[in-house]
Every structure is written in C-alpha cells, then in structure tokens.
Amino acid sequence: MRRLLAGQIGAGVGVFALDLALNMAGGVGLEAVWLVLAQGSLAALISRLLGLGAGWMGVQFALPWAAWGALMLELPSWVFLLIFVVLFALYRNAGAERVPLYLSNAITCKALGEIIDAQTPGDDPHFADLGAGFGGTLIDLAKSRPHWHFVGIESAPLVAMVARVRVAMAGHDTNKGNVEIRYHDLWDADLGQFDVVYAFLSPAPMPRLLEKARAEMKPGSILISNSFWADGVAYDECLEVNDRRQTQLYTLKF
C-alpha cells in the first residue's frame, strides 16, 4: 500500500511540476486528458521501480482515469462513502493485517484433501481455514468427509456473510452440519481444538502465526500454509501443486 501511494503521490508531484513549468514558459498548461495520461503512466513507472509487479502497473495507470471519470459523472458524495464501506467490508484484512483476499483453487483443494485423508485423528476431527474467504475450500472439502468438522475463521464482515450464505446454499447448516463459519479474528482462535489448520495469508503474519501454532496446537496435529512461510523457520514438507500458479503447500507437524 505504501508503494502504491508513493507511486501516485510521486506522479502527482511530477505532473504538477510539468504543468507549472509549461504555464510559466508559454502560459498554456496541459489539457485534462494529457494530465491524466501523464499521471497514470508516471505512477505505473514509479511503482515498477519500487518493485511492484506488472499487474500493479495496470492498477496504477487505471486509477487516475477512474478518478477523472468519477468527477465527470458528478456522482453524489454518498456513492463514494458506499464504495468505501463495501471495500472495507471485503478487504478489511488487507489494511489491518496486510492479508489480501486470496482464494484457493480446485486443484489446491484436492491436494488439501489428500493431506487430510492421510491424517489419523480421533473420533471428532476438526479442520480450520484461517481466513476462509468465501468458504469455497471448506464446502469442497466437506462434500466427501462428513465425519470431519470444518471451521472457517474470517474477520472481514462482508466476506464472512457471503461465506455463510454459500455454506447454507450448499446444504450445510452452519450450526448443526459439518461446516461452520466463525466471524472473528484468527488471532483470537484457539488452534488447540483443531487437527488440521490451513492458512492462505501473506508473508507478513507468518512469523506470528507460527509462534501461535507452536504455543497452541496439540501433538499429532498439522499446520498447512499455502504459498507463504517465515524466513529462517523450518518446515516438515513442501508439496508442489500442479496448478497454473505452481502452488506450494508448506506443512509443519506437531
């Protein structure tokens, strides 16, 4: 986020300086469309120089055009408040925990299922998805594993609501069936009640998550992290998933 803001702010300063110089030299500045084009192009370039991926260059280029279009439409102010509320409800964790909304694909879910089936838990095994998103992973895993209890933990309010609706529509009662969506922070979850804990977060919270897992998870349980791990921390196995993303599943057994 800091690099995104730095790109737009840096581009804004550069474009303002260019427009000011043209005004002082000839008395005529850039037209609006050229200002927006320059802002987007320079923001994309700065973001790339700051190490952001190619996809973010497209976002940076598009942002000034979106802002200009919104001004041209003369939308009422409440529209922007509504957009902010919806985005906050969807992406709350991106700002607070630096965890975007990542979704596991079907191939990864199949690999997760194989790991689960290889476990030998007790009579009432529990699986937790930390940052469950829209609940697709839980629904997929629960279809052929009625003896497992699947718990999704999600702190983004709108995302958790959608997940509960999806679970209900899939035929699982969130209170009585084997899929449950809990709306609360993953740091408040007691990992000791789960036989398998799965997380698809980001590099930022991994050191803290591993520390929490070591303190709480019971002997015989397993932690699985999609794509991310903590530097300098050993794991037991890294499973390569044959999907387009070349997903890696890191596992740590307790």
Same domain as 179, residue 139 = yes
Q: Residue 160 class from Cβ within 10 Å (0-12 exposed, 13-18 middle, 19+ buried)? A: buried
Torsions phi, psi of 28, nearest 5? -130, 125
Low-confidence ranges of the chain (pLDDT < 70): 1, 26-30, 89-99, 172-176
**Cβ-based neighbours of 231, under 8 Å, separated by 6 or more:** none
Q: What is the DSSP string of 123-176?
A: SS-EEEEET-TTSHHHHHHHTT-TTSEEEEEE--HHHHHHHHHHHHHTT--TTT
Same domain as 223, residue 162 = yes
Torsions phi, psi of 17, nearest 5? -65, -40
What pLDDT is recorded for position 130?
95
Confirm whether 89 is domain-assigned: no
Same domain as 137, residue 48 = no
What pLDDT is recorded for position 189?
93
Same domain as 238, residue 138 = yes
Six token digits for residue 222? 């397993």
What pLDDT is recorded for position 168?
87
What pLDDT is recorded for position 226?
95
Q: In the chain, how many domains are there?
A: 2
Same domain as 26, residue 114 = no
Range(s) of the domain holding residue 7? 2-74
Q: Strand ranges (DSSP E) for 194-245?
A: 196-199, 222-226, 237-240
What pLDDT is recorded for position 122?
77
What pLDDT is recorded for position 84?
75
Same domain as 113, residue 36 = no
Same domain as 58, residue 13 = yes
What pLDDT is recorded for position 82?
79
Confirm whether 166 is domain-assigned: yes
Six token digits for residue 205? 């919270």
Confirm whether 10 is domain-assigned: yes
Same domain as 215, residue 120 = yes
Same domain as 237, residue 189 = yes
Domain's final residue, options 74, 98, 121: 74
Confirm whether 87 is domain-assigned: no
Confirm whether 96 is domain-assigned: no
Confirm whether 88 is domain-assigned: no
Strands 126-130 and 248-253: what pairing?
unpaired
CA angle 123, 180, 248 (to 5 degrees): 80
